Amino acid sequence: MADSKPMLHTPDWIISFEREAAGEVILAQNSGDVIREYRKRYGMSQEQLGELMDLRRESILRIENGNVTPTFDFVKTFIKAMALIEATRVERAQHKEIDLYLLENIAKDLDFNREKLPFIIKVAVESYDKKLMKIQKSLKEKKYDR
């Protein structure tokens, strides 16, 4: 999904993530299933995804159920949003403080609406922290099972 302009701040792995996600959505029998999987992976409700995509929850429901085929613009924006969420989660995993400057520049590279960045960061941090707590709980349970 990378355009011809150079990606000044975007790591190669994010570009690879975008391409892989785009392939999953575009090549899927029902692209709505893949969109639903990404939404759930990041702990988003249909309302939240709708807010992110400037659509009503009902539109997200129709896309996920396969009643409506997502437009090219929807897929493009969706992929960029998922890449930014993933970049934020990786940033969260690597550092206690998230480098907002880096994320703003990645959003700029991806030509993503930077007004949506606070929402992206909130979703990413909440889903990452929830996953981390789940892992920690699982490890504690295994420790006591011995």
The CB-based long-range contact list for 107-113 (8 Å cut-off, 24+ gap) reads 108/9, 109/7, 109/8, 109/9, 109/10, 110/10, 110/18, 110/80, 110/83, 110/84, 111/3, 111/80, 112/77, 112/80, 112/81, 112/84
pTM of the predicted protein model: 0.85
pLDDT of residue 6: 67
| pLDDT-above-70 percentage for the chain | 93
Instruction: Evaluate if residue 41 carries a pLDDT over 60.
Output: yes
The pLDDT of residue 97 is 83
Q: What are residue 71's phi and psi, to 5 degrees?
A: -75, 165
Mean pLDDT of 63-79: 96
Share the mean pLDDT of the chain.
91
CATH topology of domain 12-145: Putative cytoplasmic protein (1.10.3100)
In terms of Cα–Cα distance, which of 85, 87, 78 is closest to 12? 87
Which phi and psi angles does 58 have, rounded to 5°? Answer: -60, -35
| Average pLDDT for 117-132 | 92
Tokens at residue 90, please? Answer: 């990786």
Please, what is the end-to-end C-alpha distance for the chain in angstroms? 48
What is the average per-residue pLDDT within 61-84?
Answer: 96
Q: In residues, how long is the chain?
A: 146
88-117, pLDDT tens digit by residue?
A: 999 998 887 889 999 999 999 999 999 999
Whether pLDDT at 3 is above 60 = no
| Residue 36: pLDDT over 50 | yes
